[in-house]
Structure 1
């Protein structure tokens, strides 16, 4: 594969390996996986969104025209905790899990400070986390977002050549409906994950992630992108509604964008299997990030931890 970034978004089939996908992501910053989920699966995902969406136009207060989430957009947060079709089935899809292992799983090797031959090199691992999951239901009139980098939430800077080790997060945007340039397909700039902070995006560099339902745009958090504008005029047009399911996975040492410890009711957490509980953060890493009483929360047991009171603390 050429080391030069493509000017288009490469499209790969659903049977692609995580390694092959990661190679394209390292070069281009983004890739579309076609037919990643079946029509039947996507229909179940859309049903969950329709069941849980707020009844008003959106769940926020009045919006100004330049808001990051226009008022024509309904958002359903904490998507991954709302049932297996939008939760475990997506988070542990073989390709998604494989990409977490390829790009976000950290094997850390350190020597001790004194470099004594009598002490062994220390090895530890830091596992990835789900950082954010949200569904966007965008109707006619929704304006485009500003072009941005998702990892700006951590105050990152880009002042050296891009390295694989610099990847902090990747996103998976699954089309719930047909997405086109006209109804707001994601704007994406291939290769922009390698840019420094001084380079200004140009519209002629933008390509649109047009997809059929079930296909997914996967991209690195350092790549510049934006939600597009829904320019469909007729609300009865089959393309008038654009539904996108968005999942973001980050390295385990970073604070998650969505506060999942408060967003997900404890009763819901207790219904999850341990893999899902670990992915949302109820586990400590080998390096001890996230411990309780210097143990992993899962080792103690979430039932016991959730039952703690001020008197038993």
Structure 2
């Protein structure tokens, strides 16, 4: 962009976590993304880094196989953050601002104009809460190349032919800086306003803003916003900027399939140790429209401990299981 004939780099809006909620939401909807300063405390970030360091130590001299080709080889990826520890799961996901963003933007309260159909299957109203789609840490080390600019909702094969609308928002992404993030060590590139573009409008690199952040700051953005992880160009591996860590959380509408299959990726014993609100958020809850049911009930209402203890014999041969005393009363 240019101002008075001179080139000016695009900028992301920055608001403190204490800013009025309406201002935060309005900025998010207008620009497609913004930086919230001080989302998490320095102590909270330090505790999250301890969890990450259990898996990937700060040293740069160990081998690691990056999954797929989308992430640079020098970026170490830790999936399933929600299940690693309360400080990387519950305590982040239940942050007051993130909880309100989910409730205000993603939580669906459906009212139908009629009540045709059976009362059970098609109620006049339906409540469809959002889910945690993906929780992952990106630990970018020196030499990592820039990602291609992309939209996160490409995972659902989404097309953009209609004008942008609040009702069409599918997901909110939250990238929380675990270390200082600057352009030189790979700060995320964001194209402000690109959440309103159709698929024919391609971004140019000079339209990008860089999400430079201090630990505890967060980039919050819509899944239709074009963005990319930057290139870590730090050559001195002893530099405090050599390692760039992003703790990343993505929340989607409840009718969409979650990107990470957390019903499989997080061990059941870990799930049983979670709070009920986290169990619901990762997918063990049916909406009031019955999406996600087990035996036409919400899994959380049946009881996850009971569900997880069901045997194949009980499921496949109930009569024999009853005779053997395997089916509980």
TM range (shorter): over 0.9
Q: Which residue of 2 aligns with 1:100?
A: 102
Distance 1:98 1:113 in 2: 30
| Secondary structure of 1:84's aligned partner | coil
Shift of 1:57: 3.5
Q: In the TM superposition, what is the alpha-carbon distance from 1:179 to its structure 2 partner?
A: 0.4
The answer to whether the 8 A contact 1:111-1:121 is kept is no
2:232 pairs, out of 227, 230, 238, with: 230
Contact 1:126 1:287 in 2 (8 A): yes
Q: CA deviation at 1:258?
A: 0.4
1:282 paired residue number: 284
Which deviations, in whole Å up to 9, do the C-alpha atoms of 1:197-236 show, x marking residues without a partner? 0001001100000001110000000000000000011101
1:23 aligns with one of 23, 26, 32: 26
Displacement over 4 Å in runs of 4+:
none
Q: Please report how far the alpha carbon of residue 16 of structure 1 lies from its aligned counterpart in structure 2 after TM superposition.
A: 2.4
Q: State the shift of 1:109 in Å.
A: 1.0
- Structure 1 gap ranges (5+): 1-5
Equivalent position of 2:44 in the other structure: 41
CA contact (8 A) 1:75 1:136 kept: yes
Offset of 1:122 from its aligned partner? Answer: 0.6
TM-score (norm 1): 0.92
**Equivalent residue, structure 2, for 1:310:** 312
1:57 matched to 2:63? The reply is yes
Residues in 2 aligned to 1:271 and 1:227: alpha-carbon distance in whole angstroms = 33
TM-score calculated relative to the size of structure 2: 0.88
Find the aligned partners of 1:37 and 1:95 in 2 and give their Cα distance.
11
Q: Partner of 1:158: helix, strand, or coil?
A: coil
The answer to whether the 8 A contact 1:19-1:102 is kept is no
> How far apart, CA to CA, are the structure 2 residues paired with 1:103 and 1:223?
16
Matches within 5 A, 1:7-156: 7-53=10-56, 56-60=62-66, 67-112=69-114, 122-156=124-158
- Bigger CA drift: 227-236 or 51-60? 51-60
> CA offset at residue 291 of structure 1?
0.4
Q: SS state of the match for residue 312, structure 1?
A: helix
Larger radius of gyration: 2
Unmatched runs of 5 consecutive residues or more in structure 2 = 1-8, 316-329
Looking at structure 1, the residues matched to 92 and 65 of structure 2 have their Cα atoms a distance apart, in angstroms, of: 25
Q: 2:210 maps to which residue?
A: 208
Q: Secondary structure at the match of 2:312?
A: coil
The answer for the alignment partner of 2:322 in structure 1 is none
Q: Do the aligned residues in 2 keep the contact of 1:232 with 1:240 (CA within 8 Å)?
A: yes
Aligned residue number for residue 160 of structure 1: 162
Asked if the contact 2:140/2:232 (under 8 Å) is kept, the reply is yes
Q: Which deviates the most, 283-292 or 46-55? A: 46-55
Q: CA deviation at 1:248?
A: 0.3
Distance 2:311 2:215 in 1: 46
Asked if structure 1 preserves the Cα contact closer than 8 Å seen for 2:48 and 2:87, the reply is yes
Distance 1:99 1:113 in 2: 30
Q: Is the 8 A contact 2:66 2:77 kept in 1?
A: no
CA-atom RMSD in angstroms: 1.8
Question: CA separation in 1, counterparts of 2:259 and 2:97?
Answer: 22
Tell me if structure 1 keeps the 8 A contact 2:194–2:224.
yes
